[in-house]
Amino acid sequence: VRPLAVSALPSDDPLTGDDTQLALQLLYGLHYEGFEGVDPEWEWEPTLLALRNRIERRFVDALIADVGSPSPVAPAEVPDALRALIAAADGPSLSSFVLEQGTIDHLREFMIHRSIYQRREADAHTWGIPRLRGRAKSAMVTIQADEYGNGVAGRTHAELFATTMTVAGLDPTPGAYLDAVPGVTLATDNLVSLLGLHRRWRGALVGHLAVFEMTSVVPMGRYAAALRRVGLGAGAEFYDVHVEADAEHEIIAAEQLARGLADDEPGLIGDLLFGAAAVMAVERRLAEHLLDRWHQHRTSLREETLTRTA
């Protein structure tokens, strides 16, 4: 490991560019499982962190420009503010399309996009636990324990998703489809890694998790039904588990996690709402990308890599 002399930054779209988002994905990967053949000392190498910081700044500035700075509300109003934000979303519904007209190929592509996050589902939010106190900490622990299968080996949601992928004939190895997915997909995963790794963004991390939990039950039920319709019902457990668990999580997330943080650190309410708006914005862009491509009867994956992922 030797200091880097990097002067160039990725110059593509900071929200969706393949270069920007792949760079972030690789830099964040050092903090998760790392990479085979890559010296683990790179994780804390100062010149590499300086590079990461510059790329992150472009990403965060673009997110703020995209969703604005939500005006803070009183702590007691935070759960309703989150519900209002979710209710106001007017983007296209990916899960409705998949339920009504998704083919087995659509479902396989959908799983490939989601695999970037789902194969390490929950890990980024777990970084928030040491940075929270009181009710918010307890609520996050309750949610995360379920995400990890309550300590039962093989039952983490990330592992249930591996089964889903295998049933669909896909490779569940983490990172197997890194080349196949565009920046708009990587951005959904990079957002939560960024929020999780920076204590400064703990409020936004809470808002991100709250939206995840509060928008899960209906879409997850649709994906489970779509899998059964195309004959992949053996892989539906991942989605079924979410329908059940997130009916509870959505209440804990709004009333204990988000409200608890808002009561404890009211100065973070603006960040909390920013994190909620940011996840909705990146998810909306991903849904629009998939549906645009599918309506044109094109693949939603990076076309140059298709020969390797077919």
CB-wise, 164 or 309, nearer to Fe ion?
164
- Sites of contact with Fe ion (CB under 5 A): 147, 157, 213, 246, 249
Residue 289 structure tokens:
């990308």
Closest distance between Fe ion and the C-beta of residue 242, in Å?
6
Q: Tell me how far apart the terminal alpha carbons of the chain are, to the nearest angstrom.
A: 36
Q: Which is nearer to Fe ion, 147 or 283 (CB)?
A: 147
In angstroms, the Cα distances linking 29 to 34, 38, 42, 275, 276 are 5, 11, 11, 21, 23
Q: What whole-number distance in Å separates Cα of residue 206 and Cα of residue 251?
A: 14
Separation between Cα atoms, residue 70 and residue 278, nearest integer Å? 10
Residue 112 CB, shortest distance to Fe ion, in Å, is: 18
**What tokens were used for 151?**
């300590």
Would you say 123 or 246 has its CB closer to Fe ion? 246
Structure tokens at 282: 């990146």
C-alpha–C-alpha distance, residues 234 and 224, integer Å: 10
Which residue's Cβ lies closest to Fe ion?
157
C-alpha to C-alpha distance for 138 and 143, rounded to whole angstroms: 9
Nearer to Fe ion, 147 or 189 (CB): 147
| 113/157 with CB nearer Fe ion | 157
Instruction: Give the C-alpha separation, 239 to 160, whole Å.
Output: 9
